[in-house]
């Protein structure tokens, strides 16, 4: 290197060192909070002059959402969070507290009223179950067990009356033999009737469910159950299930989420949500959107000021902060344009 060339290069190196020291000074000690606050304020002020649709490309957001749906649920980090959730649910809080201290009773009442108001929707949904032969079979057995329990209860009462218990047993036995003979002789004919009786059982069971939900007593019964639950302390589930049982359920649910959210149909649904978001909020500025979320720029700046010191201090102690700053500035001072200006 000639003498004429070394002069500008040496001066560029000194300027680089000075600017690195300047930026490090801005990011250390008491000056750090001021720097972060000023940068964040400037950023919010500048962005607040533009609508979200102008600042963010919705197609880019769609791509990010699609990639997240496919990759994030099955990642190692999410698996670790799931394991952590299992441990928390199993062990419970360090200091148990009543459920009623967290959930207000009036909110439970409001939710219950809304749910009970959906009985017409539930009735239409239950009606569709009549199309399933298997559901009809289950409903028939369920209704039959209820009738059997009623007969057993009545027989227990009848046994206490001399002669009545024997008469009731004889009637039940005779009815069973008749039905058994009918089953053997008319098995083919009864097959269709069984299907019809299954449909009838489903519809009758549906009617019982709907009428029970519409009964005013149901609301009071549910609230009484809530009062009992509200008095119970929040604790781990170790009293009710083993860790392996809980983990098995959570893992199965996690696997279900992984295979579901990564499906192309769900990805397209995510894109629809992004479009809906931009259609609804795309005309808002960031400041206006924060107002909609009951947040302010000052809140976010304060959060950044609280978080930044620990991150920056750790990077500075390791030397990474200076390395990053120098790596970003050095190409500028080494450029031919700067060398010519300094020459």
* Tens of pLDDT, residues 28-46: 877 888 888 888 888 888 8
What pLDDT is recorded for position 169? 54
| 115 shares its domain with 91 | no
Predicted structure pTM score: 0.68
Asked whether 130 and 202 are in contact (CB, 8 A), the reply is: yes
Q: Give the number of domains in the chain.
A: 2
What pLDDT is recorded for position 149? 67
| 104 shares its domain with 49 | no
| 123 shares its domain with 205 | yes
| 125 shares its domain with 231 | yes
What pLDDT is recorded for position 8? 80
| 223 shares its domain with 248 | no
| 207 shares its domain with 250 | no
Domain boundary among 217, 235, 253: 235
| 68 shares its domain with 32 | yes
* Tens of pLDDT, residues 240-253: 788 888 888 888 99
What pLDDT is recorded for position 57? 93
Domain boundary among 214, 235, 256: 235
| 90 shares its domain with 10 | yes
What pLDDT is recorded for position 143? 67
| 292 shares its domain with 320 | yes
| 253 shares its domain with 125 | no
Domain boundary among 218, 235, 252: 235
The domain containing residue 91 runs over which residues? 3-95+244-342
| 125 shares its domain with 202 | yes
221-234: b (≥16 Cβ within 10 Å) or e: ebeeebeeebeeee
What pLDDT is recorded for position 68? 92
* Ranges of the chain with pLDDT below 50: 1-3, 163-164, 167-168, 170-171, 174-194
Give the chain as a 3 state SS string.
CCHHHHHHHHHHHHHHHHHHHHHHHHCCCHHHHHHHHHHHHHHHHHHCCCCHHHHCCHHHHHHHHHHHHHHCCCCHHHHHHHHHHHHHHHHCCCCCCEHHHCCCHHHHHHHHHHHHCCHHHHHHHHHHHHHCHHHHHHHHHHHHHHHHHHHHHHHHHHCCCCCHHHHHHHHHHHHHHHHHHHHHHCHHHHHHHHHHHHHHHHHHHHHHHHHHHHCHHHHHHHHHHHHHHHHCECCCHHHCCCHHHHHHHHHHHHHHHHHHHCCHHHHHHHHHHHHHHHHHHCCCCHHHHHHHCCCCHHHHHHHHHHHHHHHHHHHHHHCHHHHHHHHHHHHHHCCHHHHHHHC
| 230 shares its domain with 103 | yes
């Amino acid at each position: 290197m000639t003498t004429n060339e070394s002069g500008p290069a040496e001066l560029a190196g000194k300027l680089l060192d000075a600017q690195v020291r300047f930026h490090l000074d801005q990011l250390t000690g008491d000056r750090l909070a001021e720097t972060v606050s000023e940068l964040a304020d400037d950023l919010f002020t500048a962005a607040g002059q533009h609508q979200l649709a102008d600042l963010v490309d919705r197609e880019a957001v769609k791509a990010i959402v699609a990639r997240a749906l496919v990759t994030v649920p099955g990642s190692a980090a999410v698996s670790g969070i799931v394991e952590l959730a299992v441990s928390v649910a199993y062990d419970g809080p360090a200091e148990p507290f009543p459920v009623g201290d967290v959930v207000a009773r009036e909110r439970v009442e409001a939710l219950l009223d809304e749910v009970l108001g959906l009985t017409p929707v539930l009735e239409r949904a239950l009606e569709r179950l009549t199309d399933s032969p298997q559901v009809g079979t289950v409903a028939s057995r369920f209704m039959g067990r209820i009738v059997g329990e009623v007969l057993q209860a009545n027989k227990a009462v009848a046994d206490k009356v001399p002669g009545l218990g024997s008469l009731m047993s004889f009637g039940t036995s005779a009815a069973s033999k008749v039905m058994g003979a009918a089953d053997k002789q008319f098995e083919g004919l009864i097959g269709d009737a069984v299907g019809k009786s299954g449909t009838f059982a489903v519809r009758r069971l549906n009617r019982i469910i709907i009428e029970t939900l519409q009964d005013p007593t149901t609301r009071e019964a549910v609230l009484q159950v809530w009062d009992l639950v509200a008095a119970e302390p929040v604790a781990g589930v170790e009293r009710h299930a083993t860790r392996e049982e809980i983990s098995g359920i959570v893992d199965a649910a996690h696997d279900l989420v992984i295979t579901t959210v990564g499906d192309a149909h769900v990805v397209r649904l995510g894109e629809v949500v992004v479009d809906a978001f931009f259609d609804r909020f795309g005309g808002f500025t960031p400041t206006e959107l924060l107002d909609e979320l009951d947040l302010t720029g000052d809140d976010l700046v304060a959060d950044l000021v609280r978080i930044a010191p620990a991150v920056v201090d750790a990077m500075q102690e390791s030397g990474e902060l200076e390395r990053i700053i120098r790596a970003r500035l050095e190409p500028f001072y080494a450029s031919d344009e700067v060398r010519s200006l300094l020459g």
